[in-house]
Chain A
Amino acid sequence: MSKATEAKAMRVGAAGHWGENIRSDTHVWIEPRERGLVDIVLESRVKPYYGEAILAQARQVLSALRVEHAQVVIHDEGALPFVVSARIEAAAKRAGFGEGLKALPEKIVIAEASPRDRLRRSRLYLPGGEPKYFINAALHGPDAVILDLEDSVHSAEKDAARILVRNALRAVDFGACERMVRINQLPLGLDDLEEVIPESPDLILIPKVERPEQVIEVTQRIRQIRTKHGVDREIWLIPILESALGIENAFKIASASSQVVALTIGLEDYTADLGAPKTALGAESLFARQRLVNAARAAGVQVNDSVYSDVGDMEGLRVWGLNSKAMGFEGMGCVHPLQIPVIHEAFAPTKAEIERALKIVAAFNEAQQKGLAVVSLGSKMIDPPVVQRALKLISRAQSMGLVAGSLVAGNT
């Protein structure tokens, strides 16, 4: 590239947020220069404590992105290191630097890969452009966190959020939570995959799926990226069905890839597609939700309900959750950490269910010991699937802390 064209491709780039009401974020402004060194001006509310650390980090990130001549202005509102580097990288790339390069933060040890049928009662949505929610998300004990690149991120901010989410996957301790990423609708979502798949998310949520081909496309792209980057952990898929057509194709979508572990539904878009207003009790989506449960079960995958968006109405959430569970759903999305315990309680097996399951398992064990092929409880014969379901229910109840481990540990 000639000097002239190189200069042409360069422009001022900025990324991130600052201001009196912004917390835990940083704003970076980069102006490419023809000559001279990299000059960094830093304003930070944590300057007395981490001013030197931020400057050192900035120099390191800029050097990794081969920024050699530039004026850089950083307004920091107490962002954590993984955010600082993500904002610098986004600004640098917007200024035309570092194409094809990454400035990756140090990688922490992540939890074991998640099994296919793990507990997925609650998945907490974290807006992909708002880092302040990331760091403590796992403390509130959701089964999964979703780093969202889709609806919560403005279309002009997709590039920056992608880098931030990538860094979070490397540097934020999400504890025992399953680390999910909701990518954008295809084809934009395929670019998201390039950035996040090398960081081994546990699961990708694919929005607005209407046809099995979309799932296949995502599966193939993930396979390619995994091969290229040597990612050997499983990466599961949950297609989100958000239209009438998607619901009609639910079974085919669920069966499109062996990586699909669950189906879920997006009710805002679905009701919009129907042209029916979304109501508190959800009569307009009853068919869709039942269809979803049936299709998922037919395909042998889990099924999860939508989110309950009124964060102030805990009683409404509880009632919705209980209905969901009764319909066969295994969990819901959460838009606020306070929803998590309510959802867990709603989806927990009832005392009566647990007691019955314990009796079934005891009868099964007794039959095993006696070498009997037929399990019976009182005068009733118990079919093998019923035993399987009881075992599963108890192991779930154990993982929710509802049954002491010792009660059945010897039996399962």
Chain B
Amino acid sequence: MIPKVELALNAAGRMVPAMVNGRPQIPYIGVGKYQPRARKAASPVRTAASYPENGDKRIADLETALRKCGLRDGMVISSHHHLRDGDSVALMALQTAARMGVKDLMWFPSASFPSQKDAISLMESGTIHHIEGSMNGPLGDYCTQGKMRGMGVLRSHGGRWQAIQDGEVHIDVAVVAAPTADSFGNADGTHGKSACGLLGFALADSIYADQVIVVTDNLVPFPCIPSQIQGNNVDFVVQVDSIGDPTRIVSGTTQITRSPDRLRIAEFVARFLREAGIMRNGFSFQAGSGGIALAFVEYLKNMMLEGGVKARFVRGGSTKYLVELLEKGLTDYILDGQTFDLDAVRSLAKDPRHVATSPFTSYNYHGKGNFASMVDAVVLGATEVDVKFNGNVVTHSDGRLLHGIGGWQNCLAAGCTILAVPSFRDRIPAIVDEVTTLTGPGELIDVVVTERGIAINPSRQDLLDAVKGSRLPIRPIQDIKAEVERICGGKPAKPTLSERPVAVVKWVDGTVLDTVWQVS
């Protein structure tokens, strides 16, 4: 179990552990304040003499590959979520490690999914020591109940790149699931029976890990064209029958919500972008794949058609709705981070204007800039927003882990950050006095759109002025909160949390923004 840890107060007023899994931590000191002085980490120098001249790095099976990588107790093994809930490679690797008798691994997924709940038994049996990566559902409960031996570390997609690049996390073995690969290790996600779109989440691992194994169920003769993972970084290629369940890798089609309340929120968001003058020729935006976000894209599409407005680029996660914008000429490019449905996978494969990005280009805060801050507007969700516009996406209001951070924190850098949230769900208010777990500082969150009105951060006087005189229901956030509390029958009681940290939320610069406490 986690030993008693020293806590420090950070600049957001949150108590955070000074030490996490044996590494000293820097408490969050504010947006843009932390200036690291260091050089990037790097993988060991290799020589071509150690690899086959004919480029054929195939090896019999995953177990042999892991043995050749020298997998042993206490190592860090990484995997990626581009196959989403359909992935079977991560568990395959961890279960192989268990068969080999390896103990105390740190599993470092780019995200975990409900289908990977068997990782719990691997933690119980000692194969996995702890997880640094998003945890939800049963894994989230396991962590928040304090059963994990180490502390969970939640990072954004950009923060994961930053942690690898800065040497905060050293990956011993990276296992990359590849829908298509050649025997040299060049790998791609747009083709093959398990096509998932992009492999960007595995890119950092392929560059910085000591050893890289590519696992594919569609081996093609060299060269694999196109490819996102370079074979020059790959040690071994393993051929398997299946890397995952295609029905859970991408949805056939993503569906727009039919909930009138959620459609109302989506329409408000689109109207806000129009009324605030953000929707103009050459603009850019990003929206996720949730029901509200998809509906927002549909409303915005119609407004763009009506107004004769074209975007320069839109950022994925892409769906058929973004693809439609591209094909109708309403945007010049899709700069994509993740592909959610079959139409988007097809578009990425065939349309050169549909471009694959990685967490490095999109999100990494410890780089010479990134795409996220160049986006004019981003539409995100949240479990809670408080009256200071702070957002929570990682925990339920009762403190249990709910979601990973994904690209959420990184996206807050956009010109206008909009959280689109129902003001309450069942009887649980989403607009609260103080968020349970701070995931995004309020100074970066500009607008909160609910079905009961739109709240603009008072620090954005420019936005307040821009929509003055419009017919949008602009209201102070306290006003919406008060109405929701009236409906729900008073303020919700605060959950009783222990004083024992079970996970930390990292900010995009690697400092510690908040703590997830054990739920009693």
Contacts and interface: CB of A to CB of B under 8 A. Distances in A.
B62 to A, nearest CB: 37
A216 interface: no
Interface stretch (B67-75, B361-369, B372-380, B484-492): B484-492
B493 A51 contact: yes
A24 B427 contact: yes
Contact of A336 (B260, B492, B493): B260
B451 A136 contact: yes
Interface in B91-109: none
B489 A81 contact: yes
A52 B493 contact: yes
Interface string B161-192: 00000000000000000000000000000000
Interface residues of B, number: 21
A16 interface: no
Contact of A49 (B260, B397, B452): B397
Interface string A180-223: 00000000000000000000000000000000000000000000
Contacts of A48: 397-398, 492-493, 495-496
B426 A49 contact: no
A135 B426 CA distance: 10
B428 interface: yes
Contacts of B351: none
A45 interface: yes
A252 interface: no
B427 to A, nearest CB: 4
B398 A140 contact: no
Interface stretch (A72-80, A302-310, A355-363): A72-80
A337 B263 CA distance: 10
Contacts of B490: 50, 53
B452 A50 contact: no
B492 A139 contact: no
B487 A338 contact: no
A338 B261 CA distance: 10
B264 interface: yes
B260 A338 contact: yes
A52 B452 CA distance: 27
B520 to A, nearest CB: 10
At the interface, is chain B mostly helix, strand, loop or mixed? loop
A57 B489 CA distance: 10
Contacts of B427: 24, 46, 49-50, 78-80
B6 to A, nearest CB: 29
B481 to A, nearest CB: 14
The majority secondary structure among interface residues of chain A is loop
Contacts of B397: 48-49
Nearest to B473: A139
Contacts of A79: 426-427
B260 A78 contact: no
Contacts of B493: 48-53
Contacts of A135: 487
Contacts of B425: 78
B263 A338 contact: yes
A23 interface: yes
Contacts of B264: 139-140
Nearest to B397: A49
B421 to A, nearest CB: 14
A173 B486 CA distance: 10
Given A136-B451, A139-B264, A140-B264, A49 B428 contact: yes
A136 B261 contact: yes
Nearest to B493: A49
Interface in A38-57: 45-46, 48-53, 57
Interface in B359-416: 397-398
A23 B488 CA distance: 14
Interface in B245-268: 258, 260-261, 263-264
Nearest to B483: A173
Given A77-B426, A78-B427, A139-B451, A50 B260 contact: no
Contacts of A57: 489
A337 B428 contact: no
Contacts of A50: 427, 488-490, 492-493
A80 B493 CA distance: 15
B428 A78 contact: yes
B489 A139 contact: no
B260 to A, nearest CB: 4
B12 to A, nearest CB: 23
Contact of B489 (A45, A80, A337): A80
B1 to A, nearest CB: 24
Contacts of B260: 136, 140, 336-338
Interface in A303-334: none
B495 A78 contact: no
Contacts of A53: 489-490, 493
Nearest to A312: B258
Interface in B410-439: 425-428
- Residue of B264, B397, B488, B489 ringed by the most chain A CB atoms within 10 A: B489
16 contacts: A24-B426, A45-B426, A48-B397, A48-B398, A48-B492, A48-B496, A49-B398, A50-B493, A53-B490, A78-B425, A78-B427, A136-B261, A139-B451, A140-B264, A337-B260, A338-B258
Interface of B: 258, 260-261, 263-264, 397-398, 425-428, 451-452, 487-490, 492-493, 495-496
Given A48-B492, A77-B426, 17 more contacts: A46-B426, A46-B427, A46-B428, A46-B492, A48-B495, A48-B496, A49-B398, A50-B492, A57-B489, A80-B487, A80-B488, A80-B489, A136-B451, A139-B452, A140-B264, A173-B487, A337-B260
**Nearest 10 pairs of A and B residues by beta carbon:** A78-B426, A49-B492, A337-B260, A81-B489, A78-B427, A48-B398, A46-B427, A48-B495, A136-B261, A49-B493
